[in-house]
Amino acid sequence: DICLGVPTREVMMELSRLADAFTKAVLDMRTREHPEGKKDFCILALGKLGGRELNYSSDIDLLGFWNDDGGKNGQEQKTFFSRLMEDVRSDLSSHTEEGYAYRVDLRLRPFGRDGELVPSWSSVVRYYTDTASLWEIQAALKMRPVAGNLRLGYSFMEKIQPVLLQNWKRKDIVQSIEKMRTLGMKTSAGATQDVKTGMGGLRDVEFLVQGLQLIHGARVSSLLEGNTLNALELLGKENVLPEPAALGLKADYLFLRRVEHCLQILEDRQIHAIPKDKKELKALARRLLGPDGNEDRFREKLNGCLRRIHEA
């Protein structure tokens, strides 16, 4: 049971491995009769899947691109790989009598909804080198290849690494993150307490980590780690964050992720708000703190986490 037994870090890793395997299996199935589809195509994961920190009810953020090296017919390739990506998304997200596997989000591709569903390798490199917004560079910290030609994916990541490692101005990073946080706070306005986008929530830890990675990455390239917990450990090790602060943020982050898991596991919905109903709140407290858990103990622990994260 995620809430009482298995360590949260291990659960997130296992859920991510499972999603990796599903994505790879679907692509393998779809390219069985067209092996070139696997040879010249790569799917990257971003977001929580990219960071190997999925919830039970997380979307999976994917980006596909094709290899335009070798002078192949561009229009034919675009059509073929766009159809392939649509098939992968459909196989993963279509509802059947037995449910569905994952909600798939493809909007983190270059130019979002207005961009090509499956751009070419060179156009994605060009986008991240010349056009991408700072928030997209920040999101790219979590990128990793998960299916298709992984070597093609790693060559892309190697190509854009100088963008991630450039000497970013602290002021620009802070302004970009503050803008995104303001937007996130508006989204969660009205919720009693939102453990993801509310004040001192999970997003605050993730943005703190990613901001420090971009600010200090030019000096310490090893900080470029997509997993939040691993990145916190590196920030402590490199003394970017005082080690006690890094350890405290890790513990609070893990507790909030357990809350998130327990909110979502029963109904498979992306819930991040603490329930208002007393009966639901009591049940949540018992799932998290054991048979002796009650509303007061839970609120005390939760409020402590949110306060410490916000202060950090």
pTM above 0.95, yes or no: no
What pLDDT, on the 0 to 100 scale, is given for residue 187?
A: 64
Evaluate whether 291 touches 185 at the Cβ level (below 8 Å): no
Q: Which helix (H) or strand (E) holds 130?
A: helix 121-130
Select from 206, 116, 215 the least CA-distant residue to 171.
215
SS3 217: coil
Tally of CB atoms within 10 A around 244: 9
Residue-wise pLDDT tens for the chain (312 aa)?
555 556 889 999 999 999 999 999 999 999 998 887 889 999 999 999 999 999 888 899 999 999 998 656 688 889 999 999 999 999 999 998 888 999 999 999 999 999 999 999 999 999 999 999 999 999 999 999 999 999 999 999 999 999 999 999 999 999 999 999 888 776 665 556 899 999 999 999 999 999 999 999 999 999 999 999 999 999 999 999 999 999 999 999 999 999 998 888 766 677 888 988 889 899 899 888 888 889 999 999 999 999 999 999
The 41-46 sheet, strands edge to edge: 104-105, 60-66, 41-46, 144-148
Give the C-alpha distances (Å, rounded to integers) separating 56 from 78, 106, 114, 263, 285.
33, 19, 30, 10, 19
